[in-house]
């Protein structure tokens, strides 16, 4: 089965103040294994990530952003 287990999550990110912060997160998380797409919004203070659920989980993605020095919390707790 070649169909990928792509999922999308929203992670609230606190502590970003400029586009440099946004780009840093997009580059860092974007190059993680299993991350297909990431869009970080400075206005909404969140990151929308499309990822392969076989390779990443909401927790590992949240931790990656947390490790970078930002407060990251999962926005929606979908089942």
Partner 1 sequence: FQKHEFFVDMTCEGCSNAVTRVLHRLGGESFDIDLPNKKVCIDSEHSVDTLLETLKKTGKNASYLGEKSTQ
Interface ranges with partner 1 (CB under 8 A): 15-18, 20-21, 24-25, 27-28, 67-70
Q: How far is the CB of 77 from partner 1 (least distance, A)?
A: 24
Q: Quick one: tokens of 65?
A: 């952003």
Q: Any alpha helices (H) in 19-68, and if so which ranges?
A: 19-30, 58-67
Cβ distance to partner 1 smaller for residue 20 or 77: 20
Contact assessment for residue 50 and residue 37, using Cβ atoms and an 8 Å cutoff: yes
Cβ distance to partner 1 smaller for residue 4 or 22: 22
Q: How far is the CB of 33 from partner 1 (least distance, A)?
A: 16
Cβ distance to partner 1 smaller for residue 1 or 17: 17
Is 37 in a helix, a strand, or coil? strand
Give the burial class of 22: count Cβ atoms within 10 A of its Cβ; 0-12 exposed, 13-18 middle, 19 or more buried. middle
Q: How far is the CB of 25 from partner 1 (least distance, A)?
A: 7
């Amino acid at each position: 089965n070649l169909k990928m287990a792509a999922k999308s999550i929203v992670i609230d990110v606190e502590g970003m103040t400029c586009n440099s912060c946004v780009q840093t997160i997009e580059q860092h998380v974007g190059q993680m294994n299993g991350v297909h797409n990431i869009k970080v919004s400075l206005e909404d203070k969140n990151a929308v990530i499309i990822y392969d659920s076989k390779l990443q989980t909401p927790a590992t993605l949240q931790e990656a952003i947390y490790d970078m020095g930002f407060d990251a919390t999962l926005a929606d707790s979908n089942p």
